[in-house]
Chain A
C-alpha cells in the first residue's frame, strides 16, 4: 500500500490586497495564508468587509493580489497571465454568486450551455440538460431567469458552475438571497453535486446552516483567514 501525499489543490501564501493603487488605506487582505485539499468542502465565515469576497475573487483570478502568491493545482495564478487565468476559469473553476448572475437574456438551458461553450468542449446539449436535470429543473430549460424563482435561478447557477466538471467551485453566499427553506435545498444540492463530481467547494457564507455541510470551517477576520472556529460562535 502506498500512501500518497495529498497535494493541496489551493495554496495561498502571504496574500495582500489593497484596493487603492498607492497601497494606502486599509488592505482588504493582510498577508493571509490558506491551503485547501482536493475534494474538501470548506465554509468561509466572516463579517461584512472582512475580505471574504476579495479572497474569493483572487482565487478565481478575477482580481489580482497586491502581494503574495496563489497556487491552484500547483500552478501560480499570477504566472498564468490573463489568458491562462481565463482558461483556468473556463475549464477548472465553477462560480456561484449570491445574486445568481444569470444572463437575463438567456434561457436556463442557454445559461448552462454557455458554460460548456466557453469551456470549448464539443457543444454537448445532453450534458447541459443532464446538469439541469440533476438540479431538478427538468422541464424548465427554456425559461428565462426572470421566469424562475430565486431558488430555481440559483439551481441554474449551480448547474452552470458544475456542468463543466470544475476542480474547484467557489460559492459567494449562495443562499444569501434565498429564504431558509430554499437555502437548505440549495446547499444540499450544491454539496451533493460537489461530492459527486469530487469538486473542491469553498463557500462564503453568513448562514449557520452552512456548518452542517462543511468538512472544514474557516473564519475570516480583518483580512486574515483563521482556522477552526466553531459554528456556534460565528452566529450573527
Chain B
C-alpha cells in the first residue's frame, strides 16, 4: 500500500477521534438550543468553570481565597485535604446544577418572551460573568487534571500500543492513536446513549422534548418551563464538565479552555443546532475533513507535487469553510429541523 495512503488512514482515524472531542463541546450547545431556543455563548466558559471547580474541589482549594485574604488579611489557600476524583465529580455536578438554577432564576426567568438575539446577548454577558467568577473562585493558575476511578485507574494518555502493534503488522507502519481520545470516544458514546435514553424513557426527558417541540403546548399540559430549563442547563453543565475534563486533560485546566467553543461552531453549523446525532456526525466530518486537508496541504509529496506549494495551519479556517459549503446546500445543517414560516 502506498505510504501516503497509510498515513492518510492514520490521519483519518485521528480526525475521527478529534471530531468526538469537538462533538462533546457541541452537544452542550445543542441541548440548550433545542430546549429553549437559546444559543448559549457561555457553553465554552461553562466547560472551563466545571473543570476548574472539579480541580478546585479535588485539591481542597479554598474558593475565593485571594479575595478572602485580601479583605481579611488572612493567608488561607487550601483546606489541607484532597478529595477523590469520583466524589469531586459528583460535587461538581451539584455545583453545575446550582449554577443552572442561578442562571434560570436570575437571568432567563426575567427574559421570557424576549427576542432570541436578547437571549443570545444575555449568554454573552453570562460568559464574561462566569469567567470572572471562575477566576475569583479558583484563580488563574494552570492546573494539572488527574481524574482517577476508585480502583486507581486514571485517564490514560499517550500512544495505544495495541493499535500501534496491530497496524504495524498489517501496514509496516504503526498508527498513533491517543489513549485519551479512545477514552473520550467511549465516554461520548455512553453520554449520547444516556441522553437518548433519558429523553426517551424518563418523564423529565419526555417533558424536555415537549418543551423543545412547543413551549406553549407543553405549558398547557402542565409542564413547568422553569423546571425544564433548569434541568436542561444542568444537563448542559454536566456535558460541559465532561468536555472540560477531556480537553483539560490535554492542556491542563486553564482559561483557554473557554476557547474550545470555537471548535464547536463549525460542528453546529454542519450538524444543525437541534440534533444530538447531528452534533456527533458533524464533529466527525469536521474532524476528519480538517485533518485530511491539513495532511494533504502540508505534504511535499501531495500538495507540493500537485500545486508546487504547501500550506500549514489550515485546520481552523478549513473547518468553517467546510461548514459553509454544507450550509449552501442545507442551511438547516445536516440534521437540523427545516423551518418553514408562512407569512
- Asked if A and B are interacting partners, one says no
